Structures are given as C-alpha cells and as structure tokens.
Chain A
Amino acid sequence: MSEDAAPSSPQRVTRTLRGIGASPGIVVAPCLVLEAADSTVFRVSVKSAEVDGEVRRFRDAIETAREQLKELQRMFEKEHRETAGSIFDAQRAVLEDETLMGGAANAIRTQRINAEWALRMELHHLTQSFADVPERERLLENIEDIENRIQKILAGSQHHELSELTEDVIIVASKLSPSETALLRVERVIAMATDKGGPSSHTAIVAKALGIPAVVGLHDLSERVNSGDPLVVDGSRGVVVVNPTPADVARYEGMSRDFRRGEEERLRVLRHLTAVTTDGTRIEIHANIELREQIDVTLKYGAEGIGLYRSEFLFLHRSPYLPTEDEHFEVYRHLAEKMAPNVVTIRTLDLGGEKYFHTVLKKDENNPVLGMRAIRFCLAHKDIFKTQLRGILRATMFGNVRVMFPLISGVEEFRAARAVLEEAMGELAAEGIPHKADIPVGMMIEVPSAAAVADLLAREADFFSIGTNDLIQYTLAIDRSNESVAYLYRPMHPAIIRTIKFTADACHAAGIPVAMCGEMASDPLIVPILLGLGFDELSMDAVYIPSVKAAIRALTVVEAREMVADILKLATASEVEEYASSRILPRLLEAVPMLVESSGTWAM
C-alpha cells in the first residue's frame, strides 16, 4: 500500500480470526470500517480541477466550526462557567493550529483526496503522537468532538457517497442494519465482515443475494482494524486474515481464482440441467430474490423459477414513501415477463420483525419479532396491502405469477388475507382492469402454529413454502442474530425435521405442492432429507443452485427416503448432524466438491 493510503495500525500484526462463513467466496482487499451510521468517513479521490474547491470546502467547515465554538464559549461565559468555556477555547486553538489544519489542507492538495478523509488521517496521526500526554483520555474525547463537529459540517455541505468509491473495499462493521446494508449495494463493495450476526443474519442474506463473500460473528474485528488495512475474507471457511503476509495473499488469491474457475465450470455444465435423481424424481429449483436486477444472475445460475420475491425491498427503497400500485405492477410485470413461462412467487410485504425498517412501522415495540409484522401489519393496513395485491393481480396477465402470504399463524389469518385479495379482484373486475382470477394463492409456513395445523391449512391454500429461518427461530426460541445463542440455531434439530415432515405430509394428503424457500433448502447436506420427504420445489439464493442441483442429480429418491427413515429415529441435533457428516457427506463429495470446505460452517 502507498503510504498515503490510510491510517493503519502501526504494529501490522498478521492475525487470523474465525467467524461464521455467511456467504462463500474469497477476496483480498483493503477494508473500510463503517462506524455509527452518520459518522462514516471514507476516502474518495478528487479530480485535480476540483482540488481548490475541496480545500475551500474544508477551510469553510473549519471557519464554521470556529464560529460555533465561539458561540458556545460565549454562552458558557455568560453563565460564569469559565472552566467549561475554556475547553471550547482549547478546541478552538486546535482548529486554529496551522500544523494540524494546514496539514489536512495540504493532504487534500497533494493526495487529491476528500476533505473528510484528509481530516480523519491528520487527526489520526495527531492522536498517535499523544502517547504520554497528561489527561490523554479527555484530550482524545475532545479531538473526537472536534472531528465530529467538522465532519457534521462537511456532511451538511455537499458530501461524498459510497457510490463514489473508486477502489474495491471490504466493508467491516460491528453490525449492519438492513438500511445500512441497502446502501452497500455498490459495485466497489466486494465483501463484508461483521462482529455480530449469525449464519442467517441480514448481512448473510444480502451478501448471498449480491454473490459476495461474507463472514459474520467475528466478535471485535471492527475494533482491531482501521480503514485501509488489508484483509482476506474467506466466506467459504468463515476466516478473516488481518494484515495478511505476502505469502497469505498469494495463497488466497490462488484459492479465489480456483473458486471462481470451479464455479464457472460447474455453472456452465449445470445451468441447463434439471434437478432429477438417477431414478427419475424431479425437484424444481427456484431462486430467492429481492431486487429485479437479480433476475439475470438467477438465470445464469439455472433457476427454473422465482420461489420467493421479497417484496419488502420495494418498500424499503421507497421509504419514507410507499410504493404506488403502478410501481408494484411494473416490478412484478418485469419479473413475470423475464421468467415466463416459469413461475414467479411474490411474497406480500414482510416488513417488521428484526428487519426492513420502514417509517410506516411503529418503533416502540418491545419485541418486534413477535409484534406487528408481515401479514399482521398488512391486515391492519388494508390500504397498503390492497395496493400491493392489485399490482400483483395486474401482473398475472404477463406471465406465471403466484402470490404468497408471510407469517400466517392459522386458518383465520389465511382466510382474512385471501378475503382482501378477493376484494382487490372485485375492484379490478368492476374497473374493467384485466387480471387472472385463478392466481395460485399460497402461504409461508414459518410460524409453529401454522405448521401444527398444516393439514387444515392445506385444504385452503394452493401451495405451501416453508420459511426455515423464522420457523427455526420460533420453534427453538432462538434470536438468530444474537451470537451468544447462535449455537442453538440448529436446522437439524429433530423438532425441525418433524415439523417439516408433518407439513410436507399434509401437502401430499391434500394434493398441493410443498416448497421450501429458507436457508435449509440451499444446504446440500440437508437437500437429500428434503428429497426423501417429498418436496416438490426448493428455492434458494441463486449461488447455491449448482450445488443443490448436483447433489440431487447424484442421488436416488429411494436412498433419500432411507436416509429420512434413519434420521427420524435420532434423538438430538448432534446425532442428525453426525449422520449428515458421516453418511450424507461422503455420498455427495464427488458430486459437490465444495462441501469439503463448507461442511465446517454448521458442524461447529
């Protein structure tokens, strides 16, 4: 790295940290540490023609900060609080100090960088030189206060966006909220690593959706590194290397190339093949998506339909506004046309819980995961719900569209949701707007109470899709983003397998298709169990499609049923996991070589 690249830890120790692999792949790049949402500072290159303007912007910000401090000091002195006032005097002395501020202005000119980053670097160097200063902690607090003041002023003028990043970065953060993660959908963000979060956290979901590597649950990574430090992120093994040696870099870059080459080769071969067992049972393989732009990647990976379109992102992107009926319609029509004749399953709004903050939600729920979310929210806000349903119904004219309700807890709720759909149909018919009245209406099975009455619900719904992330969370009472209990999040818990079996059997008895769109559907070691349980469709993030197809193509449905029979006799999650690694894994190794690397993620 060039010496102007970034302030970084002076010791440069190479460290290997173990976390949880949340999205596969390997990259080597400098990191960008995101701090609290508003104070995030990052490096942007400034064109030479704009350097003078950037220096002026910086000087103006300093001047504004000085004025603010003067005013504060006047206020305090008026109240005879001399001591408090003189701290602002001292802060002002720092602002007026040419060694510091001249240094930052000079950095803007010579390195052509943005004012925010120049200030951050200069103050970073400064605090390094304050090793033994008296009252060091208070001094550092004051320096931070000064920086925050100036950064705030700079942000208020005309600030730089992450989308202006000119170099590839790995995002490092303590945790990423969904709205922060939404901001990270930029090309230059090539991996993520977070202190908190489990394998099903939002970071993991988004990283997989974007097809970039991610490692979560790294404890204190964000405190150990500074922006600009080089990192290796190995999302396949759940490893992060801080300040890698040149030998590490060479090794991981080689692995990264092999990973990509292997992936491309597998893709090329598997894209046009169906997931059919050697004895002729076929499972449809669908993709989970949240952005219309993902359709192309989905097709590239060989998806045979969309098993889950997470429509809440449509709401998140429009926040604080709500999408209009036409906006809904346009997105759904696009999906339907692109996928036709294959199916597109639109899940209605699943806002709330721990995810997808939008201003229409109440903020003061004590326990949002058990609160006013998803279908409950929609039934309480019928106008919002009906607007979406009308958009979906209009899109039925352009392809093979299904609608699916999230978080249904029992028959009454399903009927209530269906009634709103029928109301919407009635309105459209009265207005003479074309739509298909025979749209398949399904529901997610993700609340244990719905699973318990799956046989009753199967009489009313046209299809089920099991959402395992929430189902596991609710069944096992585990907050999946709380890393201190993340070890209890065990997809192979016998309670989960029984619940899934009961649901699948209910579908078969009623003659409706059963799908799975949760995390479990993408794990090649679990797929044989789902095959044995008679699933009709599996839906997953597109990157997993090749592995899942390969696994199914290597098996017979007869042996899969035998595996299920064995597993149903086991008493603990550990026994099932042990069965998977001793019996299923060896059976699939040849077909899905990536399993060697990924099998560590759940067998911890």
Chain B
Amino acid sequence: MEAEITIVNQLGLHMRAAGKFAKLAGQFRSRIHLLRDGVSVDAKSIVGLLTLAAAQGSTLILKTDGEDEKEAFEALCALVANKFGEDR
C-alpha cells in the first residue's frame, strides 16, 4: 500500500516521535518505507526516520508491503494523525 501522509504535530518528526513510529513499524512483518523528496528510508529505523528531517507540514509517502501491510498502514497513519500522542 502507498499513500501521502502529512506531519501535523507541531514539533514534526523529532526524536521521540520517530522513536514511536519506528517502534510501531517494527511490530509488523511487512517491509515499511517512508519517502521524502525521492529519498526512501526504512521506517523501522529511528536513525533513518530522523535523516528525513520532516518538520510540521511535511508531506511524506508511506509504503507498506507484505502480509500485514493493511494493518501496518492503518496503524501508522493513525499514529501520525494522532500527533504521535502529543498535545499539539
């Protein structure tokens, strides 16, 4: 699966958020990637996510591929939409 997602929380994809994203992604068997401006990183790697430098308002492409790709996709989209559990 593949779709655009927008980072909506105020701090963007900072360390704690990236940690949560990578941790959640790691719970699925599918291969999961995030792309920004043609650069693709393994979404299970916090280091990879951080190199995307995604501030609030950035548009990223989320790709999931594998047996649980639908569940993974929905869970990750929800995390982003939910501002990684942050207040703003």
Once the chains bind, are A134 and B53 in contact (CB under 8 Å)?
yes
* Assembled-state Cα–Cα distance A135/B13 (Å): 9
User: Which A-chain residue is minimally distant from B58 (CB atoms)?
Assistant: A134
Task: List the A side residues contacting B50 at CB < 8 Å.
Answer: 130, 133, 139
**What count of chain B residues pass the 8 Å CB interface test?**
22
B45 at the interface (CB under 8 A from A): yes
Are A139 and B19 touching (Cβ within 8 A)? no
What residue of chain A has the Cβ atom nearest to residue B53's Cβ? A132
Residues from chain A with a CB closer than 8 A to the CB of B23 are 89, 93
B47 touches A99 (CB 8 A): yes
**Chain A interface main SS type:** helix
Interface size on A, residues (CB 8 A): 24
B18-62 residues at the A interface, CB under 8 angstroms: 18-20, 22-23, 42, 45-48, 50-51, 53-56
Residues of A within 8 A of B11 (CB): 134-135
Complexed CA–CA distance, A205 and B46 (Å): 49
Q: Mark A116-135, 1 if CB is under 8 A from B, else 0.
A: 00000000001001111111
Chain A residues whose C-beta falls within 8 Å of the C-beta of B55 in the assembled complex: 132, 134
- Name which of B12, B19, B51 has the most chain A CB atoms within 10 A of its CB: B19
Interface flag for A100 (CB, 8 Å): yes
Q: B70 at interface (Cβ–Cβ under 8 A)?
A: no
CA distance A149 to B20 in the complex (A): 21
Q: Mark B47-83, 1 if CB is under 8 A from A, else 0.
A: 1101101111000000000000000000000000000
B residues apposed to A, CB below 8 Å: 11-16, 18-20, 22-23, 42, 45-48, 50-51, 53-56
* Chain A interface (Cβ < 8 Å from any Cβ of B): 83, 86-87, 89-94, 97-100, 126, 129-135, 138-139, 142
Apart from A90-B16, A92-B19, A93-B22, what are 9 other A-B pairs with CB-CB below 8 Å?
Answer: A90-B19, A93-B46, A94-B19, A99-B47, A100-B47, A126-B47, A130-B50, A134-B12, A135-B12
Task: Supply 30 A–B pairs (Cβ within 8 Å), ascending by A.
Answer: A86-B20, A87-B15, A89-B19, A89-B20, A89-B23, A91-B19, A93-B46, A94-B47, A97-B45, A97-B46, A97-B47, A97-B48, A99-B42, A99-B45, A99-B47, A99-B48, A100-B47, A129-B51, A130-B51, A132-B53, A133-B13, A133-B50, A134-B12, A134-B14, A135-B11, A135-B15, A138-B14, A138-B15, A139-B15, A142-B15
